[in-house]
Structure 1
Amino acid sequence: MADAAVAVRATRTTDRRRRRGLLPTGLPWVLPALIVSAGLMYFCIGYTGYISTLDWNGSAPDPQRVGFANFTQLFTDPIFWGALEHTVVFFVITFVVQTFLGIVFAALLHSGPKLGVLYRIVIFVPVVIAPAIMAPVFRQLFAADGEFNWVLQHVGLGALAQPWLAQSSTALGAIIVIQIWGQTGVTFVLYFAAMSQIDPEILEAARLDGAGNFRTLTNIIWPMVRGTTVALATLSAIGALKTFDVPYLVTLAGPNFATEFLGTFIYRVSIPLAQVGYGSAASIVLLLLALGMAITLQAQGRERGTRRVRG
């Protein structure tokens, strides 16, 4: 009894001290790391903004201040606008196809097929393959004498065979195919996890009401995983804006800038061409585009959710 009374008094004393602010909260423990990480990030952003006002090659001791001339040049650069167009097309096609494949694969594997674990591994394996390993394989696959054209010739579609990566009309499509192959596993995993949170009784009730597989997927499952779709759209949009590794490793952003993205554009003007100020201006534009797209997609997702609740 005495020990219990002492424990109660100690608890009350601790509560009083916490209410008075005598005991530290969790903030002091995370504050140093927060200051270092946030400070470093915002310092880099601010420094990039400062460099964007310079005509500098990255090493000269006396850079010339040019104000907003880099941004003016950027908005009149047809290669920049081409890179932005490729980024938009890349985002729209990859997001739509990956969303469709991801939710279909997740629904099929939620039905409990045999060897379901093996299928999950097969779908997710491309995600963990490094682009540096994947790039030579796809360069050979889509070459003029590569395996893809070999298959077309042996199934009677030889007229469609062409150098997919060596011509402007097909290079971007090949990059999009590679991206879909490599990242559909992420979409599948997130949709599979989201479907696991759906109450089985809801699906069972739909079955009893006569809903088939397609209607259950489109009218019940799809609306209930809307939050995952919004998150995937945000990640896909930001990822498209930062795309660099696949187009650079597979096509070097060519031919004739056909697979130039904002990421490869910034690298090309900043490193090989040594126009660091110009590349920094493009980096600031990329940052603003990423923030704008993320805010827009999140706001639209919340607005639709509010309308659904009110309805």
Structure 2
Amino acid sequence: MTVSTSERLTRAVGSTSRPRGRRLQASGLPWILPALVLGVGLIYYCIGYTVYISGLNWDGASPDPLSVGFKNYLNISHDPVFWKAVWHTAIFFVVTFVVQTALGVIFAVIMHSRIKLAMLYKVIIFVPVVLAPAIMAPVFRQIFAANGQFNSVLSHLGLGFLAQPWIGQESTSLPVIMAITIWQWTGLTFVLYYAAMSQIDQTYIEAARIDGAGNLRVLWSIIWPNLRGTTVSLGILSAIGALKTFDVPWLVTIAGPNNSTQFLGTYIYQMTIQLAHVGYGAALSIILLVVALVMAIILQVVGREKADR
């Protein structure tokens, strides 16, 4: 029985394509190996090692650390500074997220209204995002000092009675830190909302205009529901960012006065580096990791439920 030329070609191609396919699949491993080593070999190893250290009474240098089991975690549960840091983190997250969301939406709506010099305004709003906190910290310390520029402005406006040492007293130091953070990150919120608004189908807005809807009605009933996904993402980022907050409170107030701007990040640094309680600091780090994961999951689930509704 004779085999046609086309059949021979088909068999030849099929026989040669299989080994090549196997070689291509095998050669893909080196491309993912760096990410695999980084994700599994480094990150998860460090987490596991931190869990191990959290069960020790260790200063980070002694060759004979003492195993204490869960004692560090029990001590944390009775630590008033820890609970103060948790309270500050919760307030910080709620205030900064709400204010940044409101300002971001307002700025994005204004920029979509085709105002003049819109590009200049976008740059001005976004510039604080790219400024390093280490550069701006001395500026803010000077501005909010007892004899700083903020009190001088209040005096020139006839509001001198409001002047006070803003970062030198417990009642106002935390609001100052929140104000600085809002100033720093509102630009990022604005950019994300501006991009999300660009994806909204304009026919919906035009239909609402024809039905007589005003600006506030369009914003509340059409624009805001379409920004839900962006809001959930920003909520997760803000929650994790609040838990990781370190640079601004440390560089501006050094977590003071009297722990009034103490956060989990600054407390971990103090216990681990300054006081050399490495085991205690590791236990605080594990608690921080667990809280961050729980908050991210909760915000993600709540966002999905609202989207389904």
Determine if contact 1:230/1:297 at 8 Å carries over to the other structure: yes
Residue 155 of structure 1 is matched in structure 2 by: 157
Q: Is 88-97 or 11-20 further displaced after alignment?
A: 11-20
Q: Give RMSD over aligned pairs.
A: 2.1
Q: Quick check: 1:17–1:23 contact (8 Å CA) kept in 2?
A: no
SS of the residue corresponding to residue 67 of structure 1 reads: coil
Q: Distance in 2 between matches of 1:30 and 1:67?
A: 41
- Unpaired runs of 5+ in structure 1? none
Identity %: 59
Matched letter for residue 112 of structure 1: R
Q: Distance in 2 between matches of 1:178 and 1:195?
A: 26
Structure 2 CA distance for partners of 1:156 and 1:119, relative to 1, 3 Å? same
Give the aligned partner of residue 239 of structure 1: 241
Quote the residue 1:55 is aligned against. 57
SS at match of 1:144: coil
Match of 1:127 in 2: 129
Q: Which residue in 2 is equivalent to 1:33?
A: 34
Match of 1:66 among 65, 68, 93: 68
C-alpha separation in 2, matches of 1:144 and 1:284: 38
- Secondary structure of the structure 2 residue equivalent to 1:271: helix
Q: Which residue in the other structure is 1:117 paired with?
A: 119
Structure 1 residue 205 displacement after superposition: 1.3
Distance in 1 of aligned mates of 2:145 and 2:12: 73
Q: CA deviation at 1:14?
A: 9.2
1:67-106 per-position Cα deviation (integer Å, ceiling 9, x unaligned): 0000000110000000000000000000000000001100
Deviation, 1:15, is 11
List alignment gaps of at least 5 residues for structure 2: 1-5
Match of 1:171 among 139, 160, 173: 173
Distance apart, 1:275 and its partner CA: 0.2
Does residue 92 of structure 1 match 2:94? Answer: yes
Query: How many pairs were matched up?
Result: 301
Offset at residue 17 of structure 1 (A): 3.2
Q: Structure 1 residue runs of 4+, over 2 Å off?
A: 8-23, 25-31
**1:95-126 CA distances to partner (integer Å, 9 max, x unpaired)?**
00000000110011011110000000000000
Cα distance between partner residues in 2 of 1:264 and 1:238? 15
Residue in 1 that maps onto 2:18: 17
The answer as to 2:202 corresponding to 1:200 is yes
Deviation larger for 217-226 or 207-216:
207-216
What is the letter of the counterpart of residue 122 of structure 1? Answer: I
Structure 1 equivalent of residue 284 of structure 2: 282
Q: Deviations over 1:12-50 (max 9, x none)?
A: 749973998664178524431232111200000000000
Aligned residue number for residue 107 of structure 2: 105
- Offset at residue 212 of structure 1 (A): 1.2
Question: Structure 1-normalised TM-score?
Answer: 0.92
